[in-house]
Amino acid sequence: DTAVSQTPKYLVTQMGNDKSIKCEQNLGHDTMYWYKQDSKKFLKIMFSYNNKELIINETVPNRFSPKSPDKAHLNLHINSLELGDSAVYFCASSPKLRELTDTQYFGPGTRLTVL
């Protein structure tokens, strides 16, 4: 049983396009996250979302927007894709927001390539 799943696993697209990445968790967790891992392997938090509370990393361009239809899903929509958006995007979830020992469970990642 997959705990945190993402689709698609690979996404290749042209500059200027709009795309979405889907994420679902079946762990019953309250909090979900989106991370970007660039070629230097830094994991950068983009968003955390908990019970309709959205915390945004202020460095994230507003072309990126999270959309949560329900507690188990947090999709990432990207407008006007740029070359620099090429990276691996990880979805993650954790039981609660702002709790110590809160382990995050990661999805398999989506490798986005913008041409």
Residues forming contacts to another protein in the complex (CB under 8 A) are: 4, 40-45, 48, 55, 90, 97-109
Nearer to another protein, 23 or 81 (CB): 23
Q: In angstroms, what is the minimal distance from the CB of 50 to another protein?
A: 10
Using CA atoms of 61, 72, 110, 100 in order, give the dihedral in degrees to the nearest 10: 70
**Please, what is the minimum distance in Å from the beta carbon of residue 101 to another protein?**
5
Alpha-carbon gap, residue 72 to 92, rounded angstroms: 11
Question: Cα(21)–Cα(32) distance, rounded to whole angstroms?
Answer: 14
Q: Is the CB of 83 or the CB of 100 nearer to another protein? A: 100
Nearer to another protein, 14 or 101 (CB): 101
**Nearest distance from C-beta of residue 77 to another protein, angstroms:** 21
What's the min distance (Å) between Cβ of 80 and another protein?
A: 27
- Of 10 and 18, which has the nearer Cβ to another protein? 10
CA pair distance 7, 81, nearest whole angstrom: 18
The single-letter DSSP state of residue 115 is -
Q: Do residues 46 and 54 make contact, with C-beta atoms less than 8 angstroms apart? A: no
